[in-house]
Amino acid sequence: MELDKQTPMKLKVLHVLRRFIARIARIFFSLYYYNDSKKIPPIKSDILKEPAIEVARKIRNKEITSVEVLEECVKRINDINSPMNCFIENRFELAYREAREADALIQSGTKSADELLKEKPFLGVPFTCKDSIGVKGLHQTAGVVSRRDYIAEEDAEVIKLLRNKGAIIIGTSNVPEVCMWWETHNHIYGRTNNPYDTTRIVGGSSGGEGAMQGAGGSIFGIGSDIGGSIRMPAFFNGIFGHKPSRNIVSNHGQYPTPNTEYINSFLGVGPMTRHAVDMKPILEIISGENSKKLNLNEPVDVGKLKVFYQINNNAPLTDPVDPDIETAMLKVVEYLNVKHKIVAEEKKISLLRKSLPIWFTNMKSTKLFGTFLMKDCSIVSIIKEIFKNIIGCSENTLIALFTSLLDYGGIKYEDEKYKAYVKLRQELENIFKDMLGDDGVFLYPTHPTPALYHNEPVLRSMNFAYTAIINCLGFPATTIPLGLSREGLPVGIQVIANHNNDRLCLAFAEELDKAFGGWIEPQNSSK
């Protein structure tokens, strides 16, 4: 893997050593998990394979009932949750009541199907969201043991908006501790498994939701993303996931809450779906009044877009892009040329090599990460907790504790190095803005490898650089599934557009969904 010539020798040595250890560890993990994967049951109901907008249409037109759809979701969740452990808390009783109310409204005939489409486009459609997004009456733990008894007193803003449009929230899905790691595991609910291979990760922090959607557990899902937390789980679980433009969707009702407006702008709530056509109508709802800024219903001619792409970021401590992912991207480039006569331009944006230090620095604030885990988050307390974890006596996960410890080192908030990296972030944002304009999209890996084995991310921890940098820059980005790897695991890419040009990402996703087949039911994957 090519590194910047100016990369310090110590970092180059560390990079080579890390890759060597990771390769040896891969052999160990493959032997450890050999023949350990469990098959999940096939989807028995066609309702769960259809787009959310089609399910909503059938409910409005009395072809099916909301109760019937909910029953299929509940059955599916019960079928998959034992091998996958993705769904953590339900509100089925209340959901059934709301489903019956939706059906009664439709049967009453007081409103026509067209009126219902306009006023409540997702009437009677069941959905789920990650645990860190507040749902009134349900626990909102963010995977933190000290919050295991915390119950949300109100719905998060996105949940309110969806419920106002008729959608029915049926429960919440698992997350990593404090939502700051890309394997979903905590000491309240345990670890979540990938529907394509249960020995593999689902990503994080919306990992439980990614797995839910990949396995067909609910009709659509809602996640949030501050460093790739929608896009990585979408990628690992073979679905679509969209991180909106900055400051478009309200973060009200999420935990943890960003403590500065600057960091808040990195965090975005967005849809996670099996079908590309569902993302736009969901985004239109959850963006509220800000949907006007997105012009989502303005037609997009994919054939007239300028397309740019980059395969590797060449950053230290990250893996090179897997050949299966590179092949998938190049197939997209070829498809665009054949179908639309688009000649995609390959880019080598050198500043992307600094994705990690830019993201880590710009995430700094006066509030220490450890305060989300424990009351006393001093260095001594964290080290004590790490030793307790080693002997199995800690309430916290090891990765969260190490993250808390690292917060004491490195660049300090608002010192000269911090300001230099903030300036560098702005420079990179300007490069993208100039490149993309109002009619350009940038194709980029969502992640350099397909889903890893459980615990393997510890040895490849910086691979999230491909998604994290886009949060800093505030651009919209959509993960698009593009089939399966040689191991039967989902692969895909992300497409990025300029600020508030989310419609370009979504239109591009719809184009590739039709061209490459989109989501593939896990049971139909070959290993």
Average pLDDT over the chain reads 96
Q: What is the pLDDT of residue 4?
A: 60
pLDDT in tens, 494-517: 999 999 999 999 999 999 999 999
The set of long-range contacts for 111-115, using a CB threshold of 8 Å and a minimum separation of 24, is 113/60, 113/61
Cα–Cα dist 471/228, whole Å:
8
Give Cα separations from 397 to 19, 145, 177, 239, 406 (angstroms).
Answer: 24, 10, 7, 28, 15
Q: What is the pLDDT of residue 2?
A: 61
Which SS3 state, helix, strand or coil, does residue 228 take? coil
Instruction: Say whether pLDDT at 470 is over 70.
Output: yes
Q: Kind and range of the H or E element at 490?
A: strand 490-497
- Looking at 132, 218, 229, 461, which residue is catalytic? 229
Q: What is the pLDDT of residue 410?
A: 84
Instruction: Say whether pLDDT at 19 is over 70.
Output: yes
pLDDT in tens, 392-405: 999 999 999 999 99
Cα–Cα dist 270/286, whole Å:
8
112 is catalytic: no
CA-based radius of gyration for the chain: 22
User: What is the model's pTM?
Assistant: 0.97
- Looking at 66, 120, 130, 354, which residue is catalytic? 130
User: How many residues can be counted in the chain?
Assistant: 527
Cα 256 to chain center, whole Å? 16
CB 504 within 8 A of CB 305: yes
Domain extents for the chain? 48-364+411-524
Look up the CATH superfamily of 48-364+411-524: Amidase signature (AS) domain (3.90.1300.10)
Parallel/antiparallel/unpaired status of strands 306-309 and 345-346: parallel
pLDDT in tens, 43-71: 999 999 999 999 999 999 999 999 999 99
146 is catalytic: no
Mean pLDDT of 143-169: 98
- Looking at 205, 224, 250, 485, which residue is catalytic? 205
Provide the total of helices (H) and of strands (E) in the chain, helices listed first: 18, 13
Which SS3 state, helix, strand or coil, does residue 189 take? coil
Residues above pLDDT 70, as percent of the chain: 98
Give Cα separations from 314 to 216, 224, 463, 512 (angstroms).
Answer: 36, 27, 11, 26
Give Cα separations from 175 to 18, 94, 238, 271, 367 (angstroms).
Answer: 27, 23, 18, 16, 22
Q: How confident is the model at residue 527 (pLDDT cuts 50, 70, 90)?
A: very low
205 is catalytic: yes
* CA angle, residues 486, 45, 508, in degrees to nearest 5: 55
pLDDT in tens, 310-354: 999 999 999 999 999 999 999 999 999 999 999 999 999 999 999
Mean pLDDT of 170-187: 97
Q: How confident is the model at residue 525 (pLDDT cuts 50, 70, 90)?
A: very low
Contacts with 472 (C-beta within 8 Å, 6 or more apart), sequence order? 266, 358, 359, 362, 425, 428, 429
Give Cα separations from 289 to 171, 250, 276 (angstroms).
Answer: 26, 10, 23
What count of other Cβ atoms lies within 10 Å of the Cβ of residue 10? 8
Q: What is the pLDDT of residue 9?
A: 84
Which residues sit opposite 221 in a β-bridge?
128, 272
For the chain, the distance separating the N- and C-terminal CA atoms, rounded to the nearest angstrom, is 28
